[in-house]
Structure 1
Amino acid sequence: MRNPVYYEDVSPGHGTLQPRSWTAGSDARRLDLSGEWDFRLSPTARPDDEAFTEDGFDPAAAPGWRSVRVPGHWVLQGHGEPAYTNTRYPFPVDPPRVPDENPTGDHRHVFDLPADWPGDGEVVLRFEGVESCARVWLNGRVLGDFQGSRLPHEFAVGGLLRPHGNVLAVRVHQWSAGSYLEDQDMWWLPGIFREVTLQHRPEGALDDFWVHAGYDHTDGSGLLRVDCPQRARLTVPELGVDLASGEDLRLPVEPWTAETPRLYDAVLSTGSEAVSLRIGFRTVTVEDGVLRVNGGRVLFRGVNRHEFHPETGRTVDAETMRRDLVLMKRHNINAVRTSHYPPHPAFLDLCDELGLWVIDECDLETHGFTHVDWRGNPVDDERWTPALVDRARRMVERDKNHPSIVVWSLGNECGSGKGLGEMARWIRDRDPSRPLHYENDPDYPDSDLHSMMYARQSKVDEIGRAGATRKPFILCEYAHAMGNGPGGLTEYQRLFEKYEHCQGGFVWEWTDHGLPRRTADGRDFFAYGGDFGEPVHDGNFVCDGLVFPDRTPSPGLVEYKKVVEPVRITGDGTARTVRVRNLHDFADLSALALEWSYEVEGEPLGGGRLPLPHVPAGGHADLELPAPPRTDVAGEAQWTVRAVLAGDTAWAPEGHCVAWAQLPAVPAAPTTAPASGAQVAPRRDGSSLTLGPASFDAVTGALTRLGAVPVEGLRLDVWRAPTDNDEGAPWKPGSGPGTAWRRLGLHRMRHRVDAVECDDAGLTVRTRVAPAASDLALRAVYRWTATDELLRLDVSVDPEGTWEVPLPRLGVRLALPGAYDRVRWFGGGPGEAYPDTRAASLVGRWEESVDGLQTPYVRPQENGARADVRWARLTDAAGGGLRVAAGTAYFWLTARRWTSEHLDAAAHTTDLVPDDRVYVNLDHGQHGIGSASCGPGVLQRHKLMVSTARFGFTFSAVAGDEG
C-alpha cells in the first residue's frame, strides 16, 4: 500500500493559522490577487512534480500550461467538464482514499508588492474558498495544505515576501478526503473559486474580535460588549458610545430584526488597525418550545440557497448576491438557510443590511454513504472528528458578528454519529447565544430545533395538534421547487400560522443550477446532469429552484410570495368591508399604504387609497370601502385591495405590492345555451354540415371551421406532459402519478366515433376514448347547438370501468393555424396556475402572445395554464380570430405551438420546435401539482379523480377588435 498523501489525510490540513472574524471593513492594507493565473490541468495528482513552484519556471515554455481566471472553476473555463450528482459520490466509496484519476489543477501567479506596502508587522495569505484540497507554495517554500472547500484558510507569509516577483503556486485536487464531507447535491466544480488576498497585519492589529450586541425586550435596552485579545476601543457615534474592550454597557437602542434591520455604524480600533462594523442588537432564545428573537415568535418564510451563477458557478459576484436578496425581499421571503455550507461572507453582510433571518450551515454532508448503508460514515468515525470540529470552528469564528445569523446548523444529511456531538459541544461552548440545528438524526441529540424535510401537511398538522414540545418545529426543506411547482404551499402556511411552535420552513431551493450551452445551430439552452458525459449523474434534479438560472422568477416564486404575504386582506365586497391583518412578527404597517380599485368585467373603473390606521404586529384593522365609482356598467364586478410600500426601501421602490386580495362585488351572470327561439338547425351540404357560424365533417362530426377560422382536431383530451412532480422522486419510482399514467396509456388515447346525429336543435357526436390494452374508457358526447353567430358545445363524460388513478387533465383540445398567436382573456393571470398553485392568480383582463404564455422550465413539461377563464380570444395580427366563453363553469386555458406529446418528448427547450399550428386546451379540470419530485404528492382535494363530468363552451368568430 502506498504511503498516505496529504489529500487523503482525514485531518483538516497543515500550516494554517487559527480562524478569525471576517474583517472586510479593516483599514489595514490588502492586495487582491484576483486575475488571470497560469494553469495546468493534469488527470492525476502529480505529487512529485513541483517545478512550477520555483522562480525559474516558465509556463510559456512548458507543455500543457494555459490560463484561468481566479477566482473561478477550471471546468467552467474550458478545462475538463462539470458533473452533477445529488447523493452518489462520483468516485468509489473507500474513505479516505480517492482514485488515481484525480483531476488536479496547478495554479501559478507572479505578483509584485505595491511600492508603499508596509514593512512592519505580519502578512497573511488568505484563501476564501478552494474546492476541494489545496497545497500552497510561496517563493518555493511550501506553506501547507488544507481541506474544507467553503471555508477560509490563512498562512503567515511575511518572512517570505519580496518586493518583486513573488511566486504563488497552488495545487488544487478535485478529489480528497474532504470530498467525502462535501456531498451536497450540486455540481462538482473544482478550483480556487473565492478570492485570494494578501492582508497586512500591523503590530497590535486585531487578531480576532466578537461584538456581543444583545437586546432586552422588556425595557428596550441594548447590551453591548466587545471581546478581543488586544486592547481596543469600540465607538458608535450615533449612540455616543466609546467603550473599551472587555467592558459591558447597557443603553437604549432600536433592535435589529429581519423586518426592521436597524444597524449602527461602529469602529473597533487598536490604534494600529481600525475595523468598520455594523452592529445589530438582538437576542435569540428558545422558550417553551418556541424560537424567539427579542422576545417575539419568529415565523420563517424561508428558502434554501446554494451559491450559483450560471456562468461562474459558485463564484458569485456582489451584484448577483444583492440581486438574489432583493428578489427574496420583494417576494416576501424573510429567511435563508445557507445550504449546505457557509456562503461568501459578503452575502451575510447583505442579509444584515436588507434584513433576513439566516441559518448558517456548516460545510458538511455525507449523504452518499446512504448507498452503502452508512458504513464508514465519517461523522461516526473518530478519526474524522478533528476535521468536523475544524469546519464548525471556521464557520462560527468567521461569521459570529452577523446579527442576521440566528441559528447555527451542523450540516446536512450526514446520518448520526459522535462527530456531530463534538461539533455541537464546541459550538455551544463558544457561542451559547444561538441555538443549533441538525435535521438528519431523528433523536435530535444535537439540535435545539425539531427539524424535518418534506413532511406532509398532515404530519405538520399532527405535530401542531400535539401541542408545544420542548423544541420548536421547522421544515428545513419542503415544497420542492423542481419544474412546475411546488404545489400545496397554502396548506402548509396556514398550519404554520395556526400552531405557535410550528415556525415555518425553507423551500428547496432558490436557483435552478442550469449551465448555459448552445446547439450546433446557435440556439441557447441550459444544461443539467448528464449533458456533460458524466457516467454517474442525477439529471435535471439540479434544476429545482424558485428562480431560473438567469434569475427570472418562476411561477413558483410568484405563488410563494402570495402565500407567505405578511399582510392578510379579507372582507365582503358586497358589504364593502375589509379586514387587514398584520402577520409580521415585529413591524407595524406604517411602511405600507392601502390601495383599492374597482373593476367590472376586468376593466378598472376607479381607484384610490384607504386610510390605514396603526396596526401593530399580530393586530388587525377593519375598514370600509367607498361606494362603487360607477353603477351604470353591468357585469361581474370586484374590488382589488393592495398593500403597497408607502415609500422607497433598500429593496423595492414606493408602490411595490406586498399583499393583495380580490373581493367579489357583483357575481358573474350564469352562461346558458342559446335561447330556443334563436337556435338554428344543422344543414348538410355534401360532405359538410353547417350549424350557425360553424362547419363540420358530416361523417366524423368534427368541427372544421368557425367563421373564417379553420379548426382542426377538436376532441376530448386527458394528457399533459408530466411535470417533474408528476414523475416523482428519481430514487422512488412511482412516487408521482406520471408512471401510472404512462402504464395505463393516457399518453396514447384512442378515439372512436360511435354516432353522428342531427336533429332540428343541433348536432350530437357520440365517442369512446380509451387507451390500448385496457377496457377502461371515457364515453364522451359532444352536443353542438347554435344561433346564427354563436356556437355552443356541451360535453358530457362518463367513465367505464374502475379508474384507480386521477387524470392529468380533462377538457377539449383543438388546433388553429399558427397565425392566431395573440391571446386575450378575462380570468386568472398574468401567470400560470394549477389547482394547488393558484393563490397568485389575479382575475383581470390580460393579453399575451402564445409564445409569451409558455414557462421555459429547464426540462420542458406541462406549463402555462391560466385559471378561472371567463372568455378568451385567439386572433391574428389583423385582430380576427376565435372567441370562446365559459359555459356553466370557468375553464383552464392553455395555448402552445406544439402538442403535449411533443412537449413530453423534449429534454431541453431547444427540442421544442414550433410547427404551423397553435394548439389550444380548454380544460374543465386539471390535476394538481404537489411536490412529489422530493416530497408529498397532490392533496386529495386537488386530484382530478375520474367521475362523470359535464362542461361546455360558447364559440364565436371575431373579425376585429371586439371585446
Structure 2
Amino acid sequence: MSYRTTPSVDYVEDVSPGSGALPPRAWYASSDARSLSLNGSWRLRVSATADAEDESFAEEGYDAGNWAEVTVPGHWVLQGDGAFGSPIYTNHLYPFPVDPPYVPTENPTGDHLRVFDLPTDWPSDGGAVLRFDGVESCARVWLNGTELGEFKGSRLAHEFTVGELLKPGRNVLAVRVHQWSAGSYLEDQDQWWLPGIFRDVTLLHRPAGSPGDFFVHASYDHTTGEGTLRVDSDVEGRVTVPALGIDVATGEPITVAVEPWTAETPRLYDGVLATEGERVPLRIGFRTVVLEDGLVKVNGRAILFRGVNRHEWHPRHGRALDLETMREDVLLMKRHNLNAVRTSHYPPHPAFLDLCDEYGLWVIDECDLETHGFVEQDWRDNPVDDERWTPALLDRAARMVERDKNHPSIVFWSLGNEAGTGRGLTAMAEWIHGRDPERLVHYEGDWNCRDTDVYSRMYASHEEVAGIGQRLDGGTHKRRELPFIQCEYGHAMGNGPGGLADYQELFEKHERLQGGFIWEWIDHGVEHAELGYAYGGDFGEELHDGNFVCDGLVFPDRTPSPGLIEYKKVIEPVLIEGDGTNGTVWVTNKHDFADLSALAFEWSCQVDGETVESGSLAVPALAPGESAEVKLPEPPVDGRGGERQWTVRALLADDTSWAAKGHVVAWGQFAAGARPLPSIPATDRPVRDGDRITLGPAGFDARTGALLSIGGVAVGAAPRLDVWRATTDNDDGAEWQTDTRYGMLWRTLGLHRMRHRLVSVEAGDDALTVRTRVAPAAREVGLDTVYRWTSDGERLRLTVSVTPEGDWTVPLPRLGVRFGLPEADRVEWFGGGPGEAYPDTRAASMVGRWQSTVDGLQTPYVRPQENGARADVRWVELGGLRIEGDPEFWFTARRWTTEQLDAARHRTDLTAGDTVWVNLDHGLHGIGSQSCGPGPLPQYFLKAEPAEFSFVFSTTE
C-alpha cells in the first residue's frame, strides 16, 4: 500500500461530522460478548502542523521505536513535562482566528500507535467494532494499514466496523489526532483546550444476532403504582426482569406493580435483553417525566433541582477520569445534599451516568456544543444558524441521545450552551422531541422558549428571579406558561459564592421556580510542581482568562470548599427550626419523594459551646411537605450561668450506598438564653513612666499610644483600625460587567493604602484615649477613630469608635482592628465554625467550641484572596491571649499580611513570616457572586457609618 507524502488534510476543516463511523447506538457492557481494552501505553509523535508527516506511520511494520510513550486515555499536553506542548485556557475567546471553518496552519497533531495482540480465543466470526469514547478534536483512524475514517465531536462516541481487518496475533492501530479542526468552532466550552485520546478505546466483539441498538421505555403511573416496560430492539429477543416476574418479547409492553425511580429513591431493577447472539444486562428505573400545570413533574410531583454543573476534571489527567474518580464525585454530591447535575457542556463519560442511576441524581445531559466565541462579532457566522453545519449539529444530538437514552437519571436533553440561536438548534430540538418524547428539552440561550420545554437562565439576580417566580417577567406566551430554572448561578470562584440562602428562599417560595445548578463542581487547577496548581496564563498562553477556570465547589484535589459546605446547609432536605426558650422544635420534610423514615434525630444542649447533655429525639416519618412540632426534654441542670443553646441534627439511621450511619443530613441550632456580655469596671488608671504608659496588665508607647504588651505577651504590632481585605474574585467582578465592581472601586478610592494620622494621646483618670484619623491618600474621605483603653487591673478593654467623614459612596471591605503577635499556633474559639463564614455565606456556621492551628484556619483557594474568617465569635484564645467581644465579632489569623495575601497569585507565593496577623472585625462586606453573577445583596453591604465595638483582652496563663 502506498501513502501520500503530502497527506490530504481537507477533512480537518470540513464542516461535516466525519465519515466511516457507524450510526450511534446505546452504550452498554455485554454479559457475554468479548471486549478488549486498548487503553494503556501508546506511542506518540507530535508535529507542529496537520500535514507535517506523511501517513506511512499507519502502515504495518512501521518502526515507532524512537517515539515517545504516553498513556491513553490522556492528553498529550499533560504528559511529557511539556515536551508535547502546553494546555490553553480560554473562557469564550477562540485561541485561533475566527474564520470558520478554517483553523491555523500551526495545528499540533499527534500521531498515535498502539500495537496489540488479539487474544487467541477471540471469536473468528468477523464481528467486531472499534470504539472511541472521546478524542479531541478530530481523529483519523487506521487499523492494520486500512483507513477506517475520520470523525469530530470530542466528547462523543464513535465506532467503526473492523471485524474483517483483525488478524490473529499482532495488530496495529494508528490514530492521527489534530488539536484544531472545524469541530473546534463547536466546542468553545470554557475549559482547558486539551488534545488527545482522553476516553477509553475498546475493541468489542459483536456476535451474529446481537442487538445493534435498543431503547428501554420504563414509565410509572403514580396513580396506580404500576410501571410499564417496553424494550425496543433492532434485533428481536426477550426481556426478563426476575424481581418483577417479567418475561416478554422485545417491542411488547407489560404493566406491573413497581417501586419508582427517583433521585431520592433510586430503585433499579436488574433485567436482561436476550437475543440470539447476546445477553445484555439492563438496569431499569421506572419513572415518568412530564411538563404539566406549568411545572416539571416526575412521577406526578414537581421537583426542585438542588444541582451543580459538572465539567470532567482531574488535576493531573485533565478530562481523562477513571471510575473511582467519577464515583468520588457522585458520593460527594450525595453527601452534600445535591440531587441534580448538569453535564456542562457535553455528555460525560457514560460510566458517570451509570453512577447517577445507581446513587440517585437528576441529570440534564448536555450536547457537545458551544460557540460562545462568536459573541465577539455579535454572532455573525455562528454555525448554529448556518445550514451547512446542521448535519454536524444533528450528529452531535443523535450521538448524545442514542448513547445515553437508557438512563433513568436523565430528565432533560440540553441542546448545548452559549451558542446563540439559530436554525440548527431548532433542527436539533425537533429531532430530539421526535426521537424521545418521554424527556424534556433544555437550552438556556432560547429565552423565547421556541425550542425548549423550560425557561432557563444563568446568573439572573435575586430581584429578577423573584419577578420570574411571580410571573412578572413577560416574554412570549409559551414562556409565561413554562417553569423556570437557573441552569447556572452561584458562581463558585474563589471565596464564595454568596447569597445562596437567599436564592433558595425564592426557589422554595414560588412554585414556578424549580431550583438551579451552581457553577460549578470543581476547580480546574492543573497540578504544577512550582505553582501548586496552575491556571490560565501559567503556560504562556497568547490569550487566556486567568483563574476563571477555578470556579468550583471542590478544590482540584476534590476537597470540599467552604462553598460546598454552605450549599449543603442551604439545600438540606429537612428544615429544623426551634424556640430554645420554650423547648419546641419544628421539623419539615423538604424532600420531593422520600419520607423521613431513613433518618434518626438527636438533640444536644450546649453551655458556652460545650455539650452538657444529649439524646435522641422522636420525630415522625413525615411525608414530603409535612411538618411536625416536637418537644425537647427539660433543659439539663447545670450550675454554670453561661450561654445556653440547643442543637438538633438529622442523621442517617442506617448505612446507605453513599454514606455511613450517623452521617449528618441536616441540623438546626437555636438559643436558649441571651449571651452574658463581658463587663469590666474601669478601676485602674493609666500611669506614665518615661516613654511608657502602664494600664492594668498592659504597657503602651507613651508617644503614640500603641499597645506594646499585655501581661507577659508581647504585641508585635499594635491594634489599629483596618478596613482592607485581599479582594476576592467576587469583589473584583468580571471585566464585561457593567454593574458596580467594589474591588475596583475600593482600590480607586485607596482603601488598600490607608494612612493613620495620630491626633492625640490622652491619659485620663480611668482611660487611655488615642485619637486618630484614618484616610486614603489623595482623597477627602476619612474615618475619625478613637481607641479607648480601660482596665480593672487584670483585664484590658478596648473600645473603638469610628465616625466617617466626607461623602462615602462605597461600602467598606471590613471594619475592625488588626494587630500582630510574635508567636501563635494553637487557636481555640467559641463562636461560628468549624470553617470560614462571611455575611452572606454563614448558613453553615455552627456555634460551638472549636480548635485549630493558625495554618488550619486558612482556606487554600487556588488564587489567594481574603479567606478564613470565623463568624459570631464570643471569644478566641491564641498566642497567650484571650479576647472577648462586645458584641460578637469576626476573627481571622494568618502568618502573612493582608497586603502579601493581596499580592499573591498562587499559594506558593505565600511565605510564613515571624508574625501572626490577627483581625478582629466588627463587620465584613458580603461576598456575592460577581465573579460572573450578581454582587452581594444590599443587606450584606458594610456601610460606612458610625460604629462602636469593644474587645476585652486577658492572658491565658
TM-score by length of 2: 0.97
Paired residue for 2:655?
A: 648
Paired residue for 1:729?
A: 734
Residues 1-23 of structure 1: per-residue CA shift (max 9 Å, x gap):
x9870010000000010100011
| Between 23-32 and 342-351, the greater mean CA deviation after superposition | 23-32
SS of 1:102's equivalent in the other structure is: strand
**Mapped partners of 1:459, 1:575: distance in 2:** 39
Paired residue for 1:75?
A: 77
From 537, 558, 577, give the equivalent of 2:584: 577
Matches within 5 A, 1:89-128: 89-128=94-133
**Mapped partners of 2:68, 2:229: distance in 1:** 52
Residues 615-649 of structure 1: per-residue CA shift (max 9 Å, x gap):
00111111000011223221100000000000000
SS of 2:565's equivalent in the other structure is: helix
Q: Which amino acid aligns with 2:68?
A: R
- The answer to whether the 8 Å contact 1:131/1:148 transfers is yes
Is 1:502–2:513 an aligned residue pair? Answer: yes
- The answer to whether the 8 Å contact 1:135/1:170 transfers is yes
- The answer to whether the 8 Å contact 1:529/1:542 transfers is yes
Paired residue for 2:38?
A: 33
Superposition deviation, residue 140 in structure 1: 0.8
Paired residue for 2:4?
A: none
Paired residue for 2:881?
A: 882
From 357, 363, 379, give the equivalent of 2:362: 357
Paired residue for 1:659?
A: 666
Instruction: Give percent identity, aligned residues only.
Output: 66
Q: Which amino acid aligns with 2:268?
A: L
From 848, 852, 858, give the equivalent of 2:856: 852
From 174, 191, 195, give the equivalent of 1:190: 195
Paired residue for 1:239?
A: 244
**Mapped partners of 2:9, 2:111: distance in 1:** 21
- The answer to whether the 8 Å contact 2:681/2:791 transfers is no
Is 1:701–2:731 an aligned residue pair? Answer: no
SS of 1:243's equivalent in the other structure is: strand
SS of 2:724's equivalent in the other structure is: coil
Paired residue for 1:334?
A: 339
| Between 705-714 and 565-574, the greater mean CA deviation after superposition | 705-714
- The answer to whether the 8 Å contact 2:8/2:51 transfers is no
Paired residue for 1:683?
A: 687
SS of 1:281's equivalent in the other structure is: coil
**Mapped partners of 2:61, 2:862: distance in 1:** 49
Residues 675-709 of structure 1: per-residue CA shift (max 9 Å, x gap):
25xx1111111100000000000000000101111
Superposition deviation, residue 176 in structure 1: 0.2
SS of 1:890's equivalent in the other structure is: strand
From 801, 808, 813, give the equivalent of 2:818: 813
- The answer to whether the 8 Å contact 2:120/2:169 transfers is no
Q: Which amino acid aligns with 1:913?
A: T
From 546, 553, 562, give the equivalent of 1:555: 562
**Mapped partners of 1:140, 1:823: distance in 2:** 68
- The answer to whether the 8 Å contact 1:25/1:277 transfers is no
Q: Which amino acid aligns with 2:855?
A: D
- The answer to whether the 8 Å contact 1:735/1:932 transfers is no
Superposition deviation, residue 169 in structure 1: 0.4
Superposition deviation, residue 714 in structure 1: 1.1
Paired residue for 1:924?
A: 922
Paired residue for 2:475?
A: none
Matches within 5 A, 1:825-904: 825-875=829-879, 881-887=880-886, 889-904=887-902
From 456, 476, 498, give the equivalent of 1:451: 456
Superposition deviation, residue 218 in structure 1: 0.6
- The answer to whether the 8 Å contact 1:729/1:735 transfers is no
Superposition deviation, residue 48 in structure 1: 6.0
SS of 1:171's equivalent in the other structure is: strand
Moved over 6 A (4+): none
**Mapped partners of 1:66, 1:572: distance in 2:** 68
Superposition deviation, residue 121 in structure 1: 4.6
Residues 536-556 of structure 1: per-residue CA shift (max 9 Å, x gap):
000000000000000000000
Residues 506-544 of structure 1: per-residue CA shift (max 9 Å, x gap):
00000000001122xxxx610000000101000000000
Is 1:224–2:229 an aligned residue pair? Answer: yes
**Mapped partners of 2:434, 2:685: distance in 1:** 87
Paired residue for 1:303?
A: 308
- The answer to whether the 8 Å contact 1:288/1:469 transfers is no
From 204, 210, 218, give the equivalent of 2:215: 210
Superposition deviation, residue 29 in structure 1: 0.5
Aligned CA distance change for structure 1 residues 484 and 542 (closer, same or farther; 3 Å): same
Is 1:269–2:271 an aligned residue pair? Answer: no
SS of 1:60's equivalent in the other structure is: coil
Q: Which amino acid aligns with 1:475?
A: Q
- The answer to whether the 8 Å contact 2:704/2:761 transfers is yes
Superposition deviation, residue 921 in structure 1: 0.2
Superposition deviation, residue 734 in structure 1: 6.8
From 284, 292, 308, give the equivalent of 1:287: 292
**Mapped partners of 1:190, 1:353: distance in 2:** 31
**Mapped partners of 1:510, 1:342: distance in 2:** 15
**Mapped partners of 1:784, 1:919: distance in 2:** 21
- The answer to whether the 8 Å contact 1:727/1:734 transfers is no
**Mapped partners of 2:53, 2:934: distance in 1:** 52
- The answer to whether the 8 Å contact 2:230/2:253 transfers is yes
**Mapped partners of 2:52, 2:276: distance in 1:** 45
Superposition deviation, residue 762 in structure 1: 1.1
Paired residue for 2:595?
A: 588
SS of 1:169's equivalent in the other structure is: strand
**Mapped partners of 1:41, 1:630: distance in 2:** 75
**Mapped partners of 2:345, 2:905: distance in 1:** 28
Paired residue for 2:624?
A: 617
- The answer to whether the 8 Å contact 2:30/2:278 transfers is no
**Mapped partners of 1:297, 1:376: distance in 2:** 40
Structure 1 alignment gaps of length 5 or more: 876-880
**Mapped partners of 2:187, 2:470: distance in 1:** 37
Residues 639-686 of structure 1: per-residue CA shift (max 9 Å, x gap):
0000000000011000000000101112111333x225xx11111111
**Mapped partners of 1:691, 1:634: distance in 2:** 30
Superposition deviation, residue 460 in structure 1: 0.7
Q: Which amino acid aligns with 1:883?
A: R
Superposition deviation, residue 829 in structure 1: 0.3
Structure 2 alignment gaps of length 5 or more: 1-6, 473-478
Is 1:945–2:946 an aligned residue pair? Answer: no
- The answer to whether the 8 Å contact 2:47/2:53 transfers is no
Q: Which amino acid aligns with 1:698?
A: A
- The answer to whether the 8 Å contact 2:126/2:164 transfers is no
Paired residue for 1:152?
A: 157
Paired residue for 2:551?
A: 544
Superposition deviation, residue 465 in structure 1: 1.4
**Mapped partners of 1:782, 1:401: distance in 2:** 69
**Mapped partners of 1:229, 1:923: distance in 2:** 69
**Mapped partners of 2:735, 2:526: distance in 1:** 21
**Mapped partners of 2:946, 2:519: distance in 1:** 37
- The answer to whether the 8 Å contact 2:9/2:51 transfers is no
SS of 2:398's equivalent in the other structure is: helix
TM-score by length of 1: 0.97
Residues 41-96 of structure 1: per-residue CA shift (max 9 Å, x gap):
000002760110011210125xxx21111111000002210010000000000000
SS of 1:634's equivalent in the other structure is: coil
Superposition deviation, residue 725 in structure 1: 0.1
